[in-house]
Amino acid sequence: MSSLQMPKVDNAIMSKKDKIASDLRGIINSKNVLSNPDELRPFETDGLTAYRQMPLLVVMPETVEEVSQILKYCNENKVKVVPRGAGTGLSGGSMPLEDCVLMAMGKFNKIIEIDYENRCVVTQPCVTNLAITHAVQDKGFYYAPDPSSQIACSIGGNVAENSGGVHSLKYGATTNNLLGIQVVLMDGTVTKFGGKAMDAEGYDFLGLMTGSEGLLGVITEVTVKILKSPEVVKAALVGFPSIEDAGNCVAEIIAEGCIPAGMEIMDKALTKATNDYSKAGYPTDAEAMMIVEFDGTEHEVEAYIQKTKEIAEKNNSSSLKISKSNEERLKFWAGRKAAFPACGVLAPDYMCMDGSIPRGKLAEVLNEISRLSKKYNLPVANAFHAGDGNLHPLIMFDANDKESLRKCEEFGADILKYCVKVGGALTGEHGVGIEKRELMCEAFSDKDIQQQLTIKVALDPNSLLNPGKVYPILRKCAEEGRVHVHGGKTKFPDIPRF
């Protein structure tokens, strides 16, 4: 993997390691300060496993007061701090720095309150996304955003990354499902933004913090909205003879006023790979395959499925299957959710990109990816949250071959640049982190970036909180960025990814 430039290591801090450890042991329970390399090793990387770095120390606070005191101490002593939730992020947002204190929030793992009257859950940040739904599903409620890693990812991490998921077209991403957070700023200030009311007074700091990738504060409590589960959920599996037909079908479904709960497209390469891997019963002869899911009342879902059928046929669909049971619907999804491991079978390594494009540009962008694939002579498979324009190309390569890796990196950067060129974004849901940092200048002008950095400095004048993430360090558009997987070994191979 290419080397990554991080903020300059502060040698004075490095040499004071023992003193800092001892000071921190005076603030929190000494067993919660880790300093031996063996203890630090598990924290050297997150879901972006291509990059590894041991932190100086790891602290595992147990209370908000401890978080506040640690940050205050680090701020006063100019020690960098990297916050970490479950460590499943795909853009390296919680990758440690050599001279940092890594703040692992794992002990904040309890749901504080379930409030059905106000339809919300108040929870500590390291409770998993799925655990929130589990806590309220017996009463027929759920938490809507569903990143595919929801079994393992933490809700605090979801807030930091503004995580999306299959259902974000209809239900929005984390930011649209959040009511409040408690945050500790770098100077130790503890405050709450939002609460159980639907809006909060003054500037929307809740909105600012959401998706700020751990650069502005450490989240210590989260209040999320919960929704009543829909009565009926049905999915259709549709095959198309061309990507263009599938793309047109997506655009027409949206234009007709149907907002599906989820709408996914895979190209032929991925359809075949996932079908071989999970035996999902996909139409492997189709050039593109779409899964579209509707939820609501029985009549509503029927009406939308009927409409989808008509639109699909008009757009030359080659096959169409409607789920007859919940089991069948989940089977439709099983292949899609196995997209990552299925690719691991096809090549020694692959990179997962995360670009966002206008829905109508799908065919154009996929054609460009296909052209680039020939140019770089590397195979690619495409998965696409078609409903909201979030594209995940998986580039296959061999990391042991330096030339192959170099080509893959260039290929990936070319794809993201093209996404921006057609009016899209560098990242739809994985975040910028260290992964796409140097590509920020493709999307933003110097003034745009400067404005964001000014906000960062306003809240963290010494730039100690998660430095080196999101904003370019090299100040040039370097060819970097993607999730790298070797031999199908992701950090968490059992977590669905897409």
Partner 1 sequence: MSMEEKQNSQTSLDFNQNIFKPTSREEIVEIVKTCYRKNIPLEINGLKSKNKIGRNFQSEKTLDLSDYKGIIDYKPEELYIKVKAGTPLKEIIGELDKNNQQLAFEPNDFGYLFSGESNSGSIGGVVSCNFAGSRRFKVGSVRDHILGFQGINGKGETIKSGGTVVKNVTGYDLSKLVSGSFGTLTILTELSIKVLPKPETSKTLIIKNPHLKKALDFLGKALSSSTDPSGGVFYPDYFGKDFVLNDLTHDGGLTAIRIEGPTNSVDQRANRLSKELGLLDQELSILDSEQSNIFWSRTKNLEVFKSLKSNLLRIVLPMSETLQVIQKLKNFEIKYFIDWGGGLIWASFDQLNTKILSEIKDTVKKHQGYITLIKVEEDLKASADIFTIDPIKYKISEKIKRSFDPKRIFNPGKMYTGI
Task: Looking at residues 27 to 86 of the shown chain, list those that interact with partner 1 (rule: CB under 8 A).
Answer: none
Which residue among 5, 137, 452, 463 contacts partner 1 (CB under 8 A)? 452
- For the CB of residue 170, give the shortest distance to partner 1 in the complex, in Å: 10
Provide the β-strand partners of residue 28: none
Smallest distance from the beta carbon of 71 to partner 1, in angstroms?
Answer: 15
Q: How far is the CB of 456 from partner 1 (least distance, A)?
A: 8
Residue from 19, 22, 78, 116 binding partner 1 (CB under 8 A):
116
Out of 1, 12, 14, 455, the only residue in the binding site for partner 1 (CB under 8 A) is: 455
Closest to partner 1 by CB, 63 vs 297, is: 297
Burial of 3 (0-12, 13-18, 19+ CB in 10 A): exposed
Residue 311's closest CA among 244, 261, 245? 245
Going along 75-189, which residue ranges are E strands?
Answer: 80-84, 100-104, 111-115, 120-123, 141-142, 178-184
Candidates 457, 487, 489, 493: give the one binding partner 1 (CB under 8 A): 457
Structure tokens at 175: 């930011």
Residues 173-192 that bind partner 1 (CB under 8 A): 173, 175-176, 185, 189, 191
260's tokens: 């599906």
Which is closer to partner 1, CB of 142 or CB of 397? 142
Which residues, numbered 355-384, are part of the site for partner 1 (CB under 8 A)? 356-360
Residues 193-252 that bind partner 1 (CB under 8 A): 193, 195-208, 210-212, 216, 228-231, 251-252
Neighbours of 311 (CB within 10 A): 21
Nearer to partner 1 by Cβ, of 211 and 393: the residue is 211
| Alpha-carbon gap, residue 144 to 168, rounded angstroms | 8
Q: At closest approach, how far in Å is the CB of 89 from partner 1?
A: 11
Cβ neighbours of residue 319 closer than 8 Å, sequence gap 6 or more? 237, 238, 239, 283, 286
Token pair for 188: 């130790």
- Residue 324 Cβ, how far from partner 1 at the closest point, in Å? 20
In whole angstroms, what is the distance from residue 172 CA to residue 278 CA?
29
**Nearest approach, Cβ of 454 to partner 1 (angstroms)?**
4
Neighbouring residues of 132: CB distance < 8 A, sequence distance ≥ 6: 111, 121, 123, 143, 155, 224, 226
Residue 138 found at the interface with partner 1 (CB under 8 A): no
Q: Residue 445 Cβ, how far from partner 1 at the closest point, in Å?
A: 8
- The interface mask with partner 1, positions 458-497, x = CB under 8 A, is xx----------x---------------------------
Please tell me the distance from the alpha carbon of residue 416 to that of residue 413, in angstroms, as a whole number: 5
Alpha helix locations (H) across 279-385? 298-314, 326-337, 339-346, 362-376
Q: CB 255 → partner 1: shortest distance, Å?
A: 4
Three-state DSSP at 331 gives helix
| Closer of 212 and 271 to partner 1 (Cβ) | 212
Identify which range of 66-74, 103-111, 283-291, 436-444 contacts partner 1 by CB under 8 A: 436-444
- Minimum Å distance from CB 310 to partner 1? 14
The nearest distance, CB 126 to partner 1, in angstroms, is 21
Q: Which is nearer to partner 1, 278 or 427 (CB)?
A: 427
Closer residue to partner 1 in complex, CB, 211/412? 211
Residues 242-301, interacting with partner 1 (CB under 8 A): 251-252, 254-259, 296-300
In 3D space, the residue among 109, 101, 219, 87 whose CA is nearest the CA of residue 160 turns out to be 219
β-bridge pairing 262-267 and 288-296: antiparallel
Tell me which residue has tokens 């655990």: 131
Residue closer to partner 1, measured from CB, 39 or 231: 231
* Minimum distance, C-beta of residue 229 to partner 1, in the bound complex (Å): 7
For 433, phi then psi, to 5°, come to 55, -135
- Alpha carbon 364 to chain centroid distance? 25
178-184 and 190-194 as β-strands: parallel, antiparallel, unpaired? antiparallel
**451 is a site residue for partner 1 (CB under 8 A):** yes
- The answer to whether 81 and 88 have CB atoms below 8 angstroms apart is no
Which of 62, 113, 401, 448 touches partner 1 (CB under 8 A)? 448
Q: Is 304 in the site for partner 1 (CB under 8 A)?
A: yes
